[in-house]
Copies of this chain bind each other. A is one copy, B any other.
Amino acid sequence: GYIGLEMAEALVLRGLKVSLVEQADEVMNTLDADMGALVSAALEEAGVTLYRQESLQGFDVRSGHVKAVITDKREIPADMVILGMGVRPNSALAEQAGIPLGEKDAIKVNDRMQTDIENIWSAGDCVESFHLVSKKPFYVALGTVANKQGRVAGINIGGGHATFPGAVGTAISKICDVGVARTGLQAKEIESLGLSYVSSKIESKTRAGYYPDAQDITVKVLAESGSGRLLGGQIVGKGGAAKRVDVLATALHAGFGVQEMVHLDLSYAPPFSPVWDPVLIAVRQVLKKI
C-alpha cells in the first residue's frame, strides 16, 4: 500500500538498506499489475530490494530486538521492521452503540452523513462511502473524501442542508521519482462486478518530445465493452504526470463514454503536453477496441 511504499522510499533516501516483502504479485495493488510493475522498477532503481509473491512468516527476535524477517522463502537480516498492513475503520464504539455497520465494518451513513441513530453523524475514515462508478457502497480511507464528508456533516449538524454524493476512487502517491495515480475501477474490481471491459496502455511524454525535460508518462484507460463507458484509469509518470488523473476522475463523475472523451478540449502547448494529451491518446486507443 501507499504507506509501506512511501516509508521504503523515505528510508532508502536516508541511506538505509531497505528490503520490501509483498505477498501479492506486484506492489501497489490498487493499480493493475502491469502498472504496478512500473512502480516496482522505480523502487528498484532507487535501491530498494523487492521480494514479491512472498509471505511474511515471522520474525527472529533476540533480547527484545528484531534480528531478521522470516518469509516463506528466505530470512532477511534486519535492524528495524515496519509493517504496512492496510487500513480498517475503528468502528467498535459505533457498533457498541448499536449503529449499523457496512462494508469492511465501516459505519453506515446516508448522503447527509447521518447514521441510523438520530443526532449521530459520522464522517471520514470510519464511514462507508458510495462508489459512483460501481454504484455500490465501498470503503475508502483518504483525506480528500474525509474532508469533503466532514464539510457536509458540519453543514448538516449546523442546521443547513448538504449531501455527499460519493467518490470515484481517486488516489495519488509519489514513490521515489514517479507519480502514481488511479481513479475509478481497476481490472480486478471490474471483473468482480461481472462487467466486461477493454483497456489500452500507452506511453507518451509530459511535454512535446522536443521540449526540454519532457518526462515519461504511462496511461492506462479501462472502458466497458460495447457501451464504451469509462470505468477507470491509471497513470504512472515523472514530473507532475500523475496529477492528470483528475481529467479521468472528472470524466467518471460525468459518466462519459470514451466516444465523447476523444474530443475533450484539453490544453496544449509544448511546455505542458504533446498536441494530443497522453490521456486522450489512451482514450483513442481504447476507442478502437470497444
Most buried by B among A169, A243, A251, A256: A243
How many residues of chain A get a CB closer than 8 Å to chain B's CBs? 51
Q: Which chain B residue has the least Cβ–Cβ distance from A277?
A: B246
A49 to chain B, nearest CB (A): 24
Contact between chains at B247 and A247 (CB < 8 Å): yes
A167 to chain B, nearest CB (A): 4
A144-B275, A174-B272 known; A267-B245 Cβ under 8 A: yes
CA distance A275 to B151 in the complex (A): 13
CA distance A247 to B264 in the complex (A): 10
A177-189 interface bits toward B, Cβ cutoff 8 Å, 1 = contact, 0 = none = 0010101000000
Q: Which chain B residue has the least Cβ–Cβ distance from A173?
A: B269
Q: Which chain B residue has the least Cβ–Cβ distance from A144?
A: B268
Contact between chains at B183 and A265 (CB < 8 Å): yes
**A276 sits at the interface (CB 8 A):** yes
**A77 sits at the interface (CB 8 A):** no
**A101 sits at the interface (CB 8 A):** no
Contact between chains at B247 and A253 (CB < 8 Å): no
Contact between chains at B272 and A145 (CB < 8 Å): no
CA distance A43 to B239 in the complex (A): 25
Q: Which residues of B contact A165 (CB under 8 A)?
A: 260, 263
Q: Which chain B residue has the least Cβ–Cβ distance from A249?
A: B265
Q: Which residues of B contact A244 (CB under 8 A)?
A: 243, 246
CA distance A171 to B264 in the complex (A): 12
**A40 sits at the interface (CB 8 A):** no
A169-B265, A267-B171 known; A251-B249 Cβ under 8 A: no
Q: Which residues of B contact A148 (CB under 8 A)?
A: 262-263
Contact between chains at B250 and A254 (CB < 8 Å): yes
**A143 sits at the interface (CB 8 A):** yes
A240-B240, A272-B242, A275-B144 known; A267-B254 Cβ under 8 A: no
State the A residues within 8 Å of B (CB).
Answer: 2, 132, 142-145, 147-148, 164-165, 167-174, 179, 181, 183, 239-240, 242-247, 249-254, 256, 260, 262-269, 271-273, 275-277
Given contacts A171-B267, A253-B260, 5 further A-B contacts (CB under 8 A): A170-B266, A171-B269, A172-B272, A174-B272, A243-B244
- Cross-chain pairs A/B with CB under 8 angstroms, 26 sampled: A2-B269, A132-B265, A142-B268, A143-B268, A144-B265, A144-B267, A144-B268, A148-B263, A170-B267, A174-B272, A179-B272, A181-B267, A242-B267, A243-B267, A246-B247, A246-B264, A246-B266, A247-B247, A247-B250, A249-B267, A250-B250, A250-B251, A250-B254, A253-B256, A253-B264, A253-B265
